[in-house]
Structure 1
Amino acid sequence: MPTNHDDVGGAEAPGDERAGMPLEDLRVIEMGQLLAGPFCGQLLGDFGADVIKIEQPDAGDPLREWGQAKAGGNSLWWPVVGRNKRTITLNLRTEDGQRLVRELIAQADVLLENFRPGTLERWGLGPDELWRINPRLVITRVSGYGQTGPYSARAGYGSIGEAMGGLRYVTGDPSTPPSRAGISIGDELAAVFACIGTLVALHHRDRTGVGQVVDSAIYEAVLGMMESLVTEWDVAGYVRERTGATLPGVAPSNVYPTKSGAMVLIAANQDSVFRRLAELMGQTELADDERFHDHNARGARMRELDAIIAAWTSTHGTGELLEELHDAGIPAGLIYTAKDMLDDPHFAAREAIVAVPSPALGHDLSMQNVFPRLSKTPGRVRHVGRERGEDNDDVYTGLLRLSLAELARLKAEGTV
């Protein structure tokens, strides 16, 4: 059974815009900033959880200022990660701030934070203290190295976790130093694992009545995605290296040029699919050639095979090539930019990108929709990230029942 939320107030109350959503009965108190913790909060909010994000009164989440592109001086990153959340300001370093957050936690299902380990404990908000207030509370903690171990106290950003977890070493061209992905993949993986752990812990709580800590470390989230990398080294002494646009032993699976110089990605590494490609190329004999007749043979002669395919694709126009490949049942496609996504009919048909009103900018913002898709209780984007402290009155006077005089005092003292 969920925590009792009889005193829910404001626009996010059950029965309003979250009604019928799968997590509408959950309240999440989100602390921390930037991406590793807040992206987990976004995922939970996307499916209807009442996420209340706490920010310092004098300085909001730095993500409000981040991003290469801005509109009217406003971040275009914050509206996405801050979406579907209520936002309040509260100074957790003060006695009044800690008292108020305890009152919020008493009515919450989840506390989500991504401070350096030990920070909550220094504020008198460690797990044991919080479980005395609310024994059903799930405490989800995201950090660089985890809550235990010799590195736990170190500052840990996503880039460091990506390197330590093994991703950076295998990313990029072998002729260059290790590269990074163009997104904060380490932070986001840690958030996804944190979200999974939170839902598992809530399931356990609903059966036992007892909360627990979900400990999601960035480096371990990255490590968890590294397939058989560790086992290959441990058993066979094999070290995966950077291989650019291909994976060793997987062929054909690469980008190939068209007549116009565009690049088309073709993935025909399965035996039956490669046979269809050979037939489409008018070179059926390739599928029976001992050099290319099975997965291992093709992987051993990747460069030779790629050259044969590139010679064929370069005689075709891009649209013509893609149409022939799709008709033949061969996985193929372009490498999309954001413009390609916005122009693509499949994205449009599935509403993979939605337009959400932005009061701050005065127009709609396009952003990715909620995934995965649920057939009966889908998530949805209800609003973009709100202004700092926009929900203060709603939460403090509605949920916590503070008087207007008390709220005014807390604002004057810098607590709120």
Structure 2
Amino acid sequence: MATETQPGGPLAGLRVVEMGQLLAGPFCGQLLGDLGADVVKIEDPERGDPMRQWGRQLPQGVSLWFSVVGRNKRSVTLNLREKEGQDLARKLISEADVVIENFRPGTMERWGMGFEDLRRENPGLIMVRVSGFGQDGPYSQRAGYGAIGEAMGGLRYVVGDPSTPPSRVGISIGDTLAAMFATIGALAALQERNSSGQGQIVDSAIYEAVLGVMESLVPEWQVTGYQRERTGAVLPNVAPSNVYPTRDGQWLLIAANQDTVFSRLAKAMGVPDLADDPRYATHGARGERQSELDDLIAGFTSGLDAADLEPLLEEHGVPSGRIFRPVDMFSDPQFSARGSITNVEHPSLGPVSMQNVFPRLSRTRGTVRWPGPELGAHTEEVLAGIGISGDRLQDLRARGVA
């Protein structure tokens, strides 16, 4: 079981100051912390990160969501609207490798903490800036939420059933994509700093992060005028590749659209001649009859329980997988063998399970060392490192600065 220890992993020794809140900036901090960086999270003394109150389940008033996104971080409270709070933040940043912020563009500059201000004291600083629309352009000053970035980046339009309005993915995918691109940018900038000695800005816009994963959507429109539409659970003309019902009420995803794989599926279904039927023998033919082929396969799968269907398909080399919920993850041998879910001791909830650190490194693997800490849990420890302790710290606390 993970407990609070010294940072380890490939980024051990890297110092990060996280000034973001909610999800996009903090998820970038989580990723860096997972890989061993020392992440100091600056929060408002009164309210902290709003993520501390978010989540559909709040046992004992505790956000399980924050226990994940706040993990491996040290929480320091500073009022950044006060000059003294800004001065202390600048001191912390002057000794950091990376600073992360996801305020509306211009906020850091108003606080005297724009990149040019910070780099005067720390020329090698990497400043990661995550926002809805980026640091420039006509939309840069707009409030930018993940959902808006998903809409403008092209994702929302293609998600869902064609009979319904555009849908959303069931997680905050726009924010997390922007955070992942921000993390990649931070690591790239750190690598470049090894040769130049200079820091730089990493500008990660949510709408661009979404756009970046939209495959060939843009050239399809520009070259051919083809507009991708919502297609529900399938990709048009790629068959069979869908979710199919089982007798015991579960759903199994089967991906057998290649000719050789479809032949193996036909054998598993007990109708090997189906692979030679001109209606289904080629990729193009199956695509033209996608709906009727799906109905044919569903008739087969609905006659078997998932526990019998899965090994049958595996025996025939047909890629398949159940649609997992958490209950399935906890009982699955693959999750167990790789430790995909780990346990960490929470100060008020006891053992809490959460997803482990990904990706895995063979020699310097990252770990979950502790869950999201109590608000300000590390203020005294961190500020002592820059000479703030005793009566000075008490005075700052009494005045709401720390």
- Could you tell me the TM-score, scaled by structure 1's length? 0.94
Paired letter, 1:415: V
Deviation at 1:343, TM superposition (A): 1.6
Matched, 1:367 2:354: yes
Question: What residue is the counterpart of 1:388 in the other structure?
Answer: 375
Asked whether the equivalents of residues 16 and 100 of structure 2 are also in contact (C-alpha less than 8 Å), the reply is yes
**1:32-70 deviation digits (Å, cap 9, x = unpaired):** 200000000000000110000000111110100010111
Deviation at 1:245, TM superposition (A): 0.8
Equivalent of 2:261 in 261, 264, 273: 273
Which secondary structure state, in structure 1, belongs to the residue aligned with residue 89 of structure 2? Answer: helix
Which secondary structure state, in structure 2, belongs to the residue aligned with residue 77 of structure 1? Answer: helix
Gaps of 5+ in 1: 1-10
Deviation at 1:356, TM superposition (A): 0.5
Matched, 1:291 2:291: no
Matched, 1:400 2:389: no
Which secondary structure state, in structure 2, belongs to the residue aligned with residue 311 of structure 1? Answer: helix
Q: How many residues align?
A: 400
**1:158-211 deviation digits (Å, cap 9, x = unpaired):** 000000001100111111111111110000000000000000000001111000
Taking the aligned partners of 1:307 and 1:387, their CA distance within structure 2 comes to 53
Gaps of 5+ in 2: none
Paired letter, 1:308: L
Question: What residue is the counterpart of 1:376 in the other structure?
Answer: 363
Deviation at 1:401, TM superposition (A): 1.6
Deviation at 1:259, TM superposition (A): 2.4
Report 1:168-207 matches (<5 A): 168-207=156-195
Matched, 1:414 2:384: no
Question: What residue is the counterpart of 1:164 in the other structure?
Answer: 152
**1:344-389 deviation digits (Å, cap 9, x = unpaired):** 121111110011000122x100000000011001000000000000
Deviation at 1:247, TM superposition (A): 1.0
Equivalent of 1:223 in 203, 211, 221: 211
Report 1:87-98 matches (<5 A): 87-98=75-86
Paired letter, 2:390: L
Equivalent of 1:138 in 112, 115, 126: 126
Deviation at 1:18, TM superposition (A): 1.8
Tell me the C-alpha RMSD between the 2 structures. 1.3
Matched, 1:73 2:61: yes
Over 6 Å off, 4+ runs: none
Question: What residue is the counterpart of 1:5 in the other structure?
Answer: none
Which secondary structure state, in structure 1, belongs to the residue aligned with residue 330 of structure 2? Answer: helix
Equivalent of 2:308 in 297, 309, 320: 320
Question: What residue is the counterpart of 1:263 in the other structure?
Answer: 251
Taking the aligned partners of 2:20 and 2:246, their CA distance within structure 1 comes to 48
Moved more, 77-86 or 291-300: 291-300
Which secondary structure state, in structure 2, belongs to the residue aligned with residue 168 of structure 1? Answer: helix
Taking the aligned partners of 1:103 and 1:258, their CA distance within structure 2 comes to 60
Taking the aligned partners of 2:301 and 2:392, their CA distance within structure 1 comes to 72
Matched, 1:115 2:103: yes
Matched, 1:31 2:16: no
Taking the aligned partners of 1:304 and 1:140, their CA distance within structure 2 comes to 50
Deviation at 1:292, TM superposition (A): 1.9
Which secondary structure state, in structure 2, belongs to the residue aligned with residue 255 of structure 1? Answer: strand
Taking the aligned partners of 1:342 and 1:260, their CA distance within structure 2 comes to 20
Deviation at 1:290, TM superposition (A): 2.5
Taking the aligned partners of 2:302 and 2:34, their CA distance within structure 1 comes to 44
Moved more, 138-147 or 323-332: 323-332
Question: What residue is the counterpart of 1:4 in the other structure?
Answer: none
Deviation at 1:106, TM superposition (A): 1.0
Moved more, 304-313 or 205-214: 304-313
Paired letter, 2:218: V
Question: What residue is the counterpart of 1:351 in the other structure?
Answer: 339
Taking the aligned partners of 2:246 and 2:153, their CA distance within structure 1 comes to 37
- Could you tell me the TM-score, scaled by structure 2's length? 0.97
Asked whether the equivalents of residues 45 and 77 of structure 2 are also in contact (C-alpha less than 8 Å), the reply is yes
Deviation at 1:308, TM superposition (A): 1.4
**1:208-233 deviation digits (Å, cap 9, x = unpaired):** 10000000000001001100011111
Paired letter, 2:361: L
Deviation at 1:285, TM superposition (A): 2.2
Which secondary structure state, in structure 1, belongs to the residue aligned with residue 24 of structure 2? Answer: coil
Asked whether the equivalents of residues 380 and 389 of structure 2 are also in contact (C-alpha less than 8 Å), the reply is no
